Structure 1
Amino acid sequence: MIVNASNTHKVSVKHILDRIGDQVVTIKSGAAIADAVQILAARKFGALPVIDEPGKLIGILSERDIIRHIGQSGASIAHQCVDDLMTRDVISCEITTNIEDVLTMMSTHSIRHVPVVQNGLLVGLISVRDVLDLQREILGNTNEVLEKRVQGRMIKLRHEISEHLKTQEKLHHANMVLMERMAELEDTKERLEMQGSEIVNLAEELFITQELLHAANKAAPQRESA
């Protein structure tokens, strides 16, 4: 049986009966206490529903009831009938009752067994252990689902971190390349500036040389005429 872990508030007694079955062992009104004790011991039950001839629930006899009466009356209760010791005001539930409500019933009335009744007839008997076992199964399913979700999220997160680190590495590499290019440009600029300065100096020297040659050319005819 699979129970939706996200809807535990909708889990009913029917889910328990599906697990343990709806075959309930009962004892009829008028039966001897000795017979009830024998059934409880053989089946390792904690309680027996008491029914009348038509099968209607009229009471419940628990180990606690028997022990309490033994403390009061001793072994003589073995000769009494179940009707003398059973609890007549039975706290029961239906197959549609929420299991959380059943636990509340058990806690409020200090009982460990609750008969399941449908249309006035007994259809099952559930114990506090049955309810807790189902709750543990539900919580186990919930933990499994949550664990899978967390694992999936962790895988996705690791992938996102890996991609982020790759992007950061690429950005770092791009910054390093950019810094190298900028350094190269600075070197080129300095070389160009130095070359420009040299060109200016050469131009100045060339201009001076041209002036000197021009002056010399003017002076040459004058020397010849003299």
Structure 2
Amino acid sequence: MVNINSIAIPTFDWVEKEKNANLLEWSSKDRAKILSVNFFNIPPDLPTIQNIHILRKMYGEMLRNNNGGIVSLDIVELSGFKAVKIIMKFPQNPGMAYLSSYTIPFKDYSFVVKIQASESGVSGMRDTMIFNKLLANGQVKVVDKNIENWFYDPYDPTISDGIRMNKSEEEVYDEEFPEHPLSVSRKLFQQIEKEIKFGKELYDVAKFER
């Protein structure tokens, strides 16, 4: 029978916070990050797992309507099962909170693996250092107090409002800022992608194929 224990992920020796039929949750030892697995015993409400353009448009609109922004969204395969991998950002005080998730849909169920990681203490160091570097080499400009070529939607260049990604959040800068919550989230997800395990019962149930 499919249940929340039908998938297993690395938990990084974090502290277990919650355990029930629909939620498993762990907190990092510094309490700055939360890892969770949700099980939904109902058909998923995703419009598709095949069309990346529909998903990026849907999530982008949803996030802009909820004071959030999209950093990345891709369709990936985890041990042969398709999943929606998304990194979202939400402003907080101080800094930014990042919510990264895999949505793994089946015809009658779905699982969501999430990592929440937030800036704390002195925030904005990554943004400031990369901004100054790109400003110095001309990749970013300030014209009449307006910043050009810094904020952008990663999938729709026509979007010019709302909470958008900035160039410092590109993955290429993660090595320079390994302790930044976005860098940490991406690194943890790399390990989850390698080590996630699916129970044999999931190979026998109907897949989500829209």
For this structure pair, what is the TM-score category when the shorter chain's length is used for normalisation?
under 0.3
Q: Between Structure 1 and Structure 2, which shows a larger proportion of helix residues?
A: 1
Q: Between Structure 1 and Structure 2, which shows a larger proportion of strand residues?
A: 2
Q: Normalising by structure 1, what TM-score?
A: 0.22
Question: Relative CO higher for 1 or 2, CA cutoff 8 Å, sep ≥ 6?
Answer: 2
Larger Rg: 1
